Amino acid sequence: MSPDNLARPDIQASRDSIALVVNPSAGKGRSQRLLPQVAGLFRDTGHRLDILLSRHIDEAYAMATEAVTGGVDTLVVMGGDGMVHLGLNVVAAYPGVSNLGLIPAGTGNDLCRGLGLDVKNPVACAQAIAVGSPRPIDVLEVNDVFVGGVVATGFDALVNRRANAMPRPKGSLRYAVAALVEMGSFWPLPYRLVIDGEPRELHAMLVAVGNTAYYGGGMQICPGANPADGVLDLTIVHEASRAKLLRLLPQTFSGRFARDPLVERLQARTVRVERPGLVGYGDGERLAAGPLDIAVRPGLLSVYG
């Protein structure tokens, strides 16, 4: 939720305090298994620690909000992309109050990957929080929601929607299967974009707006995107045949697809995305229906790692 929509409380910050919000079921219970080691690490390095175990996303949001408005020095979230997105939104709603720590323990971990965290070693991420220093990063403000990674609006968003509804397979393979299924009925989409005030109309397979590079379990849709450069990155995949799209998809994991002439890359500070029946996802989470107004908020968050 946007800070403009919230009354900032009178906050007295605590020194060296950490609130650790955990989704115990993330990564098939990986968070639960890691918790003793992570908690011990924080305590051994002298931090005052509150462990907040959430049973569902609404409870996690309430716990995180209470911790931040109570003045905790650092809010740490441990879980998958949904938990990371939640933590980012809570801290961004009260800028300058709490730092944010991220411990990747899910299956996608795209935002953490895009911030340069070692997604294969969550304990190392906890160590960086315990003894390191935070750094400022940009955040995308999308209508009244904050996004740390990528906003998907086209073929990629439809794949995200289908993948979320699939019970199996697990992990990034689910996105690959969803993409193959979705491709069977997909056609280029009519877009109206307003990029830094300049309107454009076009047909495209997708328009992705990134603060970082990754989505979909490791796809580099915005290769080289820097979350601290004060601009957002746009990737436009123009009209293509299904066969062409099928050839490009595997190259998104390396970022090589961006060399293709059908791929246009831009940087901007604001983007408005419109199209009929727009489906949008940010950090893998469904966004509200309607046009998306996306603006970069330079240095809004302080993040460890």
Taking only the tens place, the pLDDT of each residue in 86-107 is: 999 999 999 999 999 999 988 8
**Which tokens belong to 44?**
């051994």
By percentage, how much of the chain surpasses pLDDT 90? Answer: 72
Q: How confident is the model at residue 24 (pLDDT cuts 50, 70, 90)?
A: confident
* Least confident piece of the model among 9-23, 191-205, 223-237, 259-273: 9-23
- Map out the domains of the chain as residue ranges: 3-132, 147-300
- 219: β partners: 215
Q: How confident is the model at residue 12 (pLDDT cuts 50, 70, 90)?
A: very low
**Which tokens belong to 230?**
């004060």
What pLDDT, on the 0 to 100 scale, is given for residue 154? 93
* Distance linking the first and last C-alpha atoms of the chain: 24
pLDDT at 268 over 80: yes
Give exposure, 111-128, as e/b (b: 16+ Cβ within 10 Å): bbbbbebbbeebeebbbb
pTM: 0.90
The most distant pair of C-alpha atoms in the chain lies apart, rounded to whole Å, by 58
Cα separation, 53 vs 260, in Å, equals 46
What pLDDT, on the 0 to 100 scale, is given for residue 183? 83
Cα separation, 25 vs 225, in Å, equals 31
pLDDT at 13 over 50: no
Q: For residue 248, which phi and psi values (nearest 5 degrees)?
A: -75, -35
What is the mean predicted confidence (pLDDT) over 39-58?
93
Q: Where are the alpha helices (DSSP H) in 151-211?
A: 155-164, 173-183
Q: CB-based contacts of 90: which residues, under 8 Å, 6+ apart?
A: 61, 64, 65, 68, 75
What is the mean predicted confidence (pLDDT) over 186-208?
96
Q: How confident is the model at residue 11 (pLDDT cuts 50, 70, 90)?
A: very low
Residue type, 70: G
Q: CB-based contacts of 119: which residues, under 8 Å, 6+ apart?
A: 104, 109, 112, 113
What is the mean predicted confidence (pLDDT) over 264-270?
98
What pLDDT, on the 0 to 100 scale, is given for residue 7? 37
What pLDDT, on the 0 to 100 scale, is given for residue 23? 81
Q: CB-based contacts of 250: which residues, under 8 Å, 6+ apart?
A: none
Q: How confident is the model at residue 282 (pLDDT cuts 50, 70, 90)?
A: very high
Q: CB-based contacts of 101: which residues, under 8 Å, 6+ apart?
A: 18, 74, 75, 76, 77, 125, 126, 129, 303, 304, 305
Q: Does CATH place domain 147-300 in 2.60.200.40?
A: yes
pLDDT at 136 over 60: yes
CATH C-level class of 3-132: alpha beta
In CATH terms, are 3-132 and 147-300 the same topology? no
Q: CB-based contacts of 47: which residues, under 8 Å, 6+ apart?
A: 16, 17, 18, 130
What pLDDT, on the 0 to 100 scale, is given for residue 106? 82
Q: How confident is the model at residue 26 (pLDDT cuts 50, 70, 90)?
A: low
Residue type, 177: V
Cα separation, 150 vs 142, in Å, equals 11
Cα separation, 120 vs 153, in Å, equals 28
